[in-house]
Structure 1
């Protein structure tokens, strides 16, 4: 139980325990580890932090929120739910998110019932989903009796259901939407459930921005898409389904466009679609940023020594660091051709070999045009050599 008085105001909710350090945001420059890469950001809340972190490391960022978070602080429904929790004097309280707890406490202050809600919560056994939710509970002057080690709601419910909760009342703070299966698990154990939804997920007014991002993924114009909430993944796939593009989207995500998720829970809908996401060890925004940087730098920068010096392929960008030639951003087709030549390491690739692996290139004439486009784009055209009657090679 807390040592704070329930009449004390809830501590400043502008504090963001997982925000980037102020001095990092103010730093004049960072190593350009993401230079050349194009990254799609689908989050709404805290998207500015994610976008700024990627841009300051050199990435080009596209932003299209798959869902938006709408606070329900002024909602009559939330007020009724809060009053119901107070009246029920719950035996157990489940807190799934720090954001939800902060919004709920703010709403209770607005309604003028924070002391009553504090008393109701302090008399209950509180379970939290993870350290961030624990931090929000403690910031409100309360203590918890346990947290899920893997930060999953189902694990937290497993902890609850180890107890005899027949005839007990459980207050359940929802994560933006009602999960009937989770509520039924508690009810099936004989408990009464009071759900509280301090915020909800809403679709953007239009699908246009998200649809543009979906098309960019399908056309391989992005190197990676990031997700910070499972409902956003479901909305992303759902919009693609609505416009008949889901299969093409999933194909791109399974092959050429990477996905990164803030945690395993967020990645679950991707896994269900057969897409493997990059996940940081710690399910935090800062850890996600570091994971993206480390992964792209370690696994998706192609370097080759050519007759014209070192060459780097960074995402869709090609540059010759030892040359005065400016970095060039290649369209997907010429980029795919250059990657094949680099992987051959100076060996000659026949026209038939290239036609077999290059998408949307189905004739020798189309291949010749593609080689011409690549040479013109690179400025150093002789880096791609024609070997008469045999094919093409990278000049090394």
Structure 2
């Protein structure tokens, strides 16, 4: 419930396709979101990406007990509020809805309306305005740190500050404000918790650590914390951090999520607008640049080799290890003739041991032609094979 991205994709989703081809063909992307996951996966797969879903958080965040929330609401109402910090739209909506059920909504709105209101971002602003409240200020960055920075230079002695929490405890924030002389009341509406079944997350962690993913998307800061905690529990946190620092692109929907990676020294990318479609559009631009691989024109086709993935005319070619090994060996010397003996040496051990050496190579070449196009590989009589590129 703390995803930064909105529920509806925007107009940036205009380049998707429905046939598995597209700018992300050949790339595999991990998805950690618990909410709106179908939408995100559809955006990625319509651009050709393969996806691996492993929710970092529970899809059913735990609501604070009704009696507990009502007690803190009555505590807020009992004392004038000087400064109110709103952090999430969904948290504000849930609090106001509960207050309405108790018959306390008019009193709560009027009470908070007499305070100076600061909001973390547009969703909390929207929740406030729907109830007739107006924020005095909200940071462009949408980062709660900037909200705190906005108030730290003040004399807070004797001030009563109410902080609406964002799914994770802000007790350290409350302690910091109290050190500046303020009285602080924290309002927790819900708590985010790790996913009920950690198995998919452990699988994702292994794939990140083994660098078999090209990118992983994150839509909330708690998801980052949950992944790192899970990685630490299986002794792979250092491997995950190293992979993110080098080969796996940590892709965040907005600045709040990106900030959660700063503790680990992990570089991230984020779109200018915190939107799902904008994040996917950013991946569309970043991944091909980072994994350009080898691009060849052969036999009337365009081939792109990215690791063990082969893209032919924008669509992934499902090659088994033997034909893939032949293609990689030929691609090392585009257009040059490669002997059967050299190609045999390139084959996986099992394929090379099957039948005669010439037969093993010829069978692998036949499967390669079936996968990438019959004219891509040329036979050079009594010498071997070559890629059909212009020399």
TM-score in same-fold range (> 0.5): yes
- Hey, what does 2:241 align to over in structure 1? 250
Matches within 5 A, 1:50-65: 50-65=40-55
Once the 2 structures are TM-superposed, how far is the Cα of residue 287 of structure 1 from its aligned partner?
2.0
1:28 and 1:191, CA in 2 relative to 1: closer, same or farther beyond 3 A? same
Structure 1 position 19 matched with structure 2 position 8: yes
Cα offsets for 1:100-140 (capped at 9, x unmatched): 21121122223332112111111111001122221221122
Q: TM-score, normalized by length of structure 2?
A: 0.77
Give the Cα separation in 1 of the matches to 2:286 and 2:333: 23
2:285 maps to which of 276, 294, 318: 294
1:111 and 1:343, CA in 2 relative to 1: closer, same or farther beyond 3 A? farther
Cα offsets for 1:281-335 (capped at 9, x unmatched): 223333212212222345435432135632134686423339xxx8424689997
1:365 and 1:378, CA in 2 relative to 1: closer, same or farther beyond 3 A? closer
Structure 1 position 85 matched with structure 2 position 76: yes
**Gapped regions of structure 1 (runs ≥ 5):** 1-15, 350-363
1:328 maps to which of 317, 336, 359: 317
Give the count of matched residue pairs: 360
Once the 2 structures are TM-superposed, how far is the Cα of residue 208 of structure 1 from its aligned partner?
0.5
1:145 and 1:393, CA in 2 relative to 1: closer, same or farther beyond 3 A? farther
Equivalent position SS for 1:304: strand
**Gapped regions of structure 2 (runs ≥ 5):** 353-363
Kept after mapping to 2: 8 A contact 1:319/1:328: yes
Structure 1 position 306 matched with structure 2 position 285: no
Matches within 5 A, 1:25-40: 29=18, 32-40=22-30
Matches within 5 A, 1:199-348: 199-302=190-293, 303-307=295-299, 309-313=301-305, 317-321=309-313, 327-329=316-318
1:70 and 1:342, CA in 2 relative to 1: closer, same or farther beyond 3 A? same
Q: TM-score, normalized by length of structure 1?
A: 0.77
Larger radius of gyration: 2
Structure 1 position 126 matched with structure 2 position 146: no
1:188 maps to which of 156, 159, 179: 179
- Structure with the bigger RCO (C-alpha within 8 Å, sep 6+) is 2
1:193 and 1:223, CA in 2 relative to 1: closer, same or farther beyond 3 A? same
